[in-house]
Amino acid sequence: DVERSRGLGDVYKRQTLELGLHALKAQKYEKALKKLTASAKMGNKEGQYYLAQMYFQGWGTPVNYEEGWLWLSVAMEQKTAEWNRSYRQIKKALPEDYITALQPYVDEYISLYGAKAQDLRCEKRAAIGSNIKEIICEKRYY
């Protein structure tokens, strides 16, 4: 049935992210790159953020500021204090004309992997036990 297959798809997406993050923490960069790329393409904001970090840091891949900026920009539909700090630091470090030149590609990535394209709902809320409101993007359930 449709509801059951949708649930299995969500489990697969979560497992893909978790496997990628586990591999990244264990410095198994080839596996992390593969799993986080898959997760990012499924619209997972956390996968997009950590994939961007892999490209910026050169973990398991040559340093690639362009690819890192594209994935970070898509991930930033979800706004957390940590991600905002990282985004501001990287934006400050990159030349303005470089960021401007990449904007059409950012728009393309958002059209493919962004919240709307992946049917995510982004809403402002506080984490449990916190008063700090952040924007969190999750799969829509009807």
- pLDDT, mean of residues 5-22: 78
Residue 4 has pLDDT above 50, yes or no: no
> 131 is written with which tokens?
């008063």
Residue 78 has pLDDT above 70, yes or no: yes
Residue 35 has pLDDT above 70, yes or no: yes
User: Which among 13, 19, 31 is positioned nearest to 118, based on CA atoms?
Assistant: 13
Question: Left (φ > 0), alpha (ψ -120 to 50) or beta: where does 88 sit?
Answer: alpha
Dihedral sign (CA 131, 73, 114, 104): positive
Dihedral sign (CA 79, 88, 13, 1): positive
User: Which among 98, 142, 107, 139 is positioned nearest to 120, based on CA atoms?
Assistant: 139
pLDDT 10s digits, 48-69: 999 999 999 999 999 999 999 9
Top pLDDT among 37 and 14 is at 37
Main-chain phi, psi angles of 137, to 5 degrees:
-110, 130
Percent of the chain scoring above 90 in pLDDT: 65
How many whole angstroms separate alpha carbon 7 and alpha carbon 73?
Answer: 28
User: pTM (2 decimals)?
Assistant: 0.85
pLDDT 10s digits, 102-133: 999 999 999 999 988 988 887 887 777 777 77
> 120 is written with which tokens?
């995510």
Residue 94 has pLDDT above 50, yes or no: yes
